[in-house]
Chain A
Amino acid sequence: MKSYKFLDDVAIADIAFEAEADSLNGVFIACGEAVFETISDVEKVDKIKVYDISLKSDTLEKLLYDFLETIVYYKDTDSVVFNSCEVKIEEKDNNFLLKGKIYGEYINRNKHELYSDVKAITMHMFKLEKKGDNYKATVVLDI
């Protein structure tokens, strides 16, 4: 189970969302998908370009921040939009390691429907927590 929803009345100059999943990998993926969906219509993006990512952080929150920030970085540096991602998180020596893939495609204005340019992931209200059996994240994107 994983899902995300955009929030109506939070950080009105920007875009806020909440993501929830029954696994850690799932909540990361849901957050990634929320960012992809903010940028463009993911249905119209093919999985042509693949980014192998490998990140390490001492907290899960920082790891999530780095993961989302990496998406924004690739968007601008390579001019790509995204379709989906895979994530696998492991804990090792008090650090959290993320290995994953991000799938996307170079922007084609005739093919893709572009929405909002995410400029940055903010730390405003940024949260990753365990609620019962589920993981829940709150993120505000700078638009």
Chain B
Amino acid sequence: MAIPKEIKKINDYVWELPVSYKKGMNVPARIIVSEEMLKAVDDGVFDQVTNVACMPGIQKYSICMPDCHWGYGMPIGGVAAFDLEKGVISPGAIGFDINCLTKDSKILLNYGCYKKIKNFDNNFESDKISFMDLNNNSKKSSNAVLYMKKMPDNRVIKITTKSGEEITVTEDHPIYTGKEMINAGELNKGDNVVVHPFIGVEYSEPSDKIIVDEKDIIALVGDRPKLIVTLKEKGLLPLRENSDKLPILTKLLGFIMGDGWIGKNYNKNRKQDVWSTRVIGSAEDLETVRTDIRNLGYVTNYVTTKKYDSIVSEISGEKRNISGKSTQLYVNSQSFTVLLKALGMTEGNKSKNLSFVPEWVKESPLWIKRLYLAGLFGAEMTKPCQRKGEYKSFTEPSFSQNKILELWDNNYEFITDIINMLSEFGVEVNNIYNQKGVINKYGETTGKIAFRISAKIDNLINLWSKVGYEYCKKRKELSMQALSYLKMKRVILKESDLFVEEMKLIHNEGANNGEISILAQQNGHSVSQVLGRLYSNSKSSRACSDFPTFQQFIEKHTILNSEFVLDEITDIEEINYRDYVYDFTMNDENHNFIANSIVTSNCGMRLITTNLTLKEVKPKIKQLVDHLYMTVPSGVGCKGFLKLNDKQFDDIMVEGTKWCVDNGYGWDKDVWRTESYGKIEGADPQKVSQRARSRGINQLGTLGSGNHYLEIQVALKENIFDPVIASKFGINKEDQVVIMVHCGSRGFGHQIATDYLKIFNDAMGKYNIKVYDRELACAPFKSKEGQDYFSAMACAANMAFANRQMITHRIREGFSKVFGKSPQELEMNLVYDVAHNIAKIEEHMIDGKMKKVLVHRKGATRAFPPKHRELNPEYRPIGQPVILGGSMETGSHLLVGTQKAMDETFGSTAHGSGRTMSRTKAKKEFEGKSLLDSMIKKGIYVRSGSMKGLAEEAGGAYKNINQVVGVLDSYGITKKVVGLKPIGNVKG
């Protein structure tokens, strides 16, 4: 094989191809091998490592480990880091006690919209973020600077509540429980916590389209220079969609359309029309209106409360007496009123005049539409109501408008416009209906058109959590309580649905009704409901009889005078302190790139110890391997032992290892001893295609095939290179037996990669990216495609962690069965689980500065040094365990990460021994059956579903692992700890 003549020796173990080697290289490429190994590096590697060096945003070097070989796209054994670019890191924008650290956390802003943390930009200070003023329970907003700074290594706790809210806070942050302030770290399950169930709609950047300009004003009122100057001075003319005062105006416009009046009188002295506005509402709400008008730069004139006593004439001829108090706010500013008119406010008596939902509202971003609707609903939408006798559900909220019969068509159009807008929020309307109106004071007959909003739980939740009411404190507060109540009910109903599904499974497997009744009782479900639903496909619609009524809920959960609601903690979970995800989410305008193909499925290694020795295991090795071969499914098309529903699969995508441990498939410590605690933040199952789901849902707990395996190994005395560290990792006995697992996220991760590969290939033109190899298709990290992939990849990574965890569970069960002792007695502790196919945001020193970069490792292992803050406290003094899987014949290694790896290779090292021969060739060279026999002679008992597959994995098709480890150790990017010899192997 030809070594490129341009290659330059940097030192005994580092060889560099300069940027001049290939057109388009942004950085040099470095291959970490000994001189002898360099001669055997295959051609594909030189090509691929330099292809990667051409990718936009790559940092320092494109690196290849000593186990490198020709993969697809990036070479196997490849490491590359990509720039995230400096953007603002906003400690404050986490929010107050509604902060979350994951990038998709929704931060509520003051106009009822939210931004995902990741979408805050350099101007974050101008965003008004909502928070709860703990002194008076009111909701306020402020810019990020006022928020608590989040230290990077604070303990962070995720709290889940009865209503399904998730709140993430730092442990030292005081939380108002409704009674007192308690530090989050001291909270327990069952404690109360305060939540704000309103979500709002996602903020999107408004355009700079002009909505009202000078010409529009002149068309309305003629040339009135003073009025125009006033508007200009207040920054209201021209009024654009992105004017900072438009949100307030929209909200006011909606409210005044409902409960207000604008009009003009001709003033003879001034010889012109005089315009004014009146707003009707409760004194308290009008105060809020007044504040908003003041924020626009206007003075309101006065508030009056009048008694009224009027007679309403029904069409039937009946007359009704209506009396009460009406409070009105007067705004005599002409320019304010004219601006409202220009924005589309109906002038004069609304029942006699045309009303329209303004075109500019219909064309505006969703969050602006929401302001209009919420203002209008604050005036005209009915509050959350209950029917007599139905105290656990709500009636259909309704909205109506009266107009004289001649304007029926216009009225209908207005109503349908509102309904259409609602549908954009996922709010469905049941029906539109006509009602008899009244006779107005001019003696004209009016007709009422109304609509009812569907009272399905999800629909009401959408209405009240995304739209809600503005300028009507009472309805707003009540709707928040109703919202929290419904969310809680939804959680209960979902649990009940899940329980019934489980029972159906058990029932199909032979459980009788009696057994199911007992289970239902034990789990707090209604026996009759569960039994009834065993035979039907209906979803549950009724909550269990001990579920509280809304009234009972209010008594327990209301915070007086507040839109915040008391909720109860159902789960508390410590989230590890890494806030990389959060930090990067605050960045903006990154021109960085995530390369799809480089990362697939968080394929990785894990190592489990036992307290057994070779002497004890050897006699039972056949029994053990046969047992594991049966219980850990492997090979083409294998299915796992768990039947998951979609919700559970979603949870696994998000929770990773923790899901397994929570469901009884592992020990708490397993989470601790997994890279990133077995959970990559930011996973979003919505970014995963249905195709990937269907490929993956049956595969949890399976090995797969190819080079994946489960191996029983022994740490022979002569192979312990660093007894001190070995002992800290749990290897402290002569000839101690350990188990190594190598596998990934199976078809799931690969399908995700395939899906995004296609998307990226189509998108590259748009982003003007060219790559040498289509398998290196990529998209800017900050682009929608890049972010979507990152979220989907996190799902794959978490599924892979969970997969190895499930396999670990089976291994523990197997050993326990064969040796007649519990896994605890056998001390089957996880040493570590480490990924070697993954992209992660990490901090590295680049050009003398610490910088966040996106590190891609394809067939390369993270190798963090002692003191690295991402390591758990147990391993922090020692350094990260690194697991290197050799071929099934030659053995594997346990090593430890070093500072040198941080300095030279983005904290990375090799992942195995590396192939030297293609699979196709290996199948010609070796024959499965005779290989099996020769391995038995060497003392290795192997089970494999495929003889051809076995031949592909013959030791002779791989590099000598000792050479690979030798380079790593001598160069110093990882240090040898223990060499491990195989004695039994289940090959995928």
Contacts and interface: CB of A to CB of B under 8 A. Distances in A.
Given A80-B637, A115-B949, A123-B774, A14 B919 contact: yes
A122 B44 CA distance: 15
Contacts of B44: 10-12
Interface in A30-55: 39-40
Contact of B952 (A72, A109, A116): A116
Nearest to A119: B750
B774 A119 contact: no
Interface in B635-654: 635-639
Given A7-B918, A81-B636, A12 B597 contact: no
Contact of B921 (A9, A77, A120): A9
Contact of A122 (B73, B919, B948): B73
Interface stretch (B85-93, B302-310, B699-707, B884-892): B699-707
Contact of B946 (A77, A116, A121, A140): A116
Interface centre among B601, B698, B773, B774 (most CB of A within 10 A): B774
Contact of A76 (B695, B761, B919): B695
Contact of B920 (A6, A39, A123, A124): A6
B606 interface: no
Contacts of B915: 12-13
A117 B918 contact: no
A67 to B, nearest CB: 13
Contacts of A73: 691, 694-695, 751
B639 A117 contact: no
A75 B639 CA distance: 11
Contacts of A80: 637
Nearest to A117: B705
A16 B919 CA distance: 9
Contacts of A69: 754
A96 interface: no
Contacts of B917: 12
B329 to A, nearest CB: 60
Contact of A140 (B72, B750, B988): B72
Interface centre among A13, A72, A80 (most CB of B within 10 A): A13
Given A81-B636, A143-B919, A10 B70 contact: yes
Given A107-B637, A121-B754, A116 B918 contact: no
B37 to A, nearest CB: 15
B956 interface: no
Nearest to B48: A124
Interface in B4-45: 42, 44
B69 A12 contact: yes
A142 interface: yes
A116 B948 contact: yes
Contacts of A116: 636, 705-706, 919, 946, 948-949, 952
B747 interface: yes
A24 to B, nearest CB: 21
B640 to A, nearest CB: 11
A115 B699 CA distance: 18
Nearest to B638: A79
Interface string B816-842: 000000000000000000000000000
Interface string B458-477: 00000000000000000000
A114 B636 contact: yes
Contacts of B757: 123
Given A12-B918, A77-B694, A124 B637 contact: no
Contact of B42 (A12, A62, A72, A121): A12
B945 interface: yes
Contacts of B69: 12-13
A63 B73 CA distance: 21
A69 B695 CA distance: 12
A125 B73 CA distance: 9
B72 A75 contact: no
B916 to A, nearest CB: 7
Nearest to A123: B774
Given A15-B920, A73-B751, A77-B695, A124 B988 contact: no
Interface in B736-783: 746-747, 750-751, 753-754, 757-758, 761, 773-775, 777
A122 B775 contact: yes
A13 B957 CA distance: 10
* Interface size class, chain A: 35 or more
A119 B796 CA distance: 14
B76 interface: yes
B747 A115 contact: no
A108 to B, nearest CB: 10
B730 interface: no
A8 interface: yes
Contacts of B694: 73, 77
B635 A117 contact: yes
B972 interface: no
B71 interface: yes
Nearest to A120: B750
Contacts of B754: 69, 120-121
Contact of B70 (A12, A76, A81): A12
B747 A114 contact: no
B636 A75 contact: yes
Interface string B140-167: 0000000000000000000000000000
Contacts of B918: 7-12, 15-16
A79 B988 contact: no
B70 A13 contact: yes
Contacts of A117: 635-637, 704-706, 988
Contacts of A16: 918, 920
A76 B699 contact: yes
A113 interface: yes
A119 B948 contact: no
Nearest to A40: B636
Nearest to A121: B754
Nearest to A77: B694
Interface of B: 42, 44, 69-73, 76, 597, 600-601, 635-639, 691, 694-696, 698-699, 704-707, 746-747, 750-751, 753-754, 757-758, 761, 773-775, 777, 915-921, 924, 945-949, 952, 988
21 contacts: A8-B920, A12-B69, A13-B919, A16-B920, A69-B754, A73-B695, A76-B746, A79-B639, A114-B636, A115-B636, A117-B635, A117-B704, A117-B706, A120-B600, A123-B72, A123-B73, A124-B597, A125-B72, A125-B773, A140-B72, A143-B919
Given A11-B44, A11-B70, A142-B72, 13 more contacts: A7-B920, A12-B919, A13-B69, A13-B76, A13-B915, A14-B72, A76-B695, A116-B946, A117-B637, A119-B750, A122-B775, A125-B773, A143-B707
Sorted nearest first, the 8 A-B pairs with minimum C-beta distance are A124-B72, A117-B705, A124-B775, A76-B747, A79-B637, A123-B774, A12-B918, A122-B72
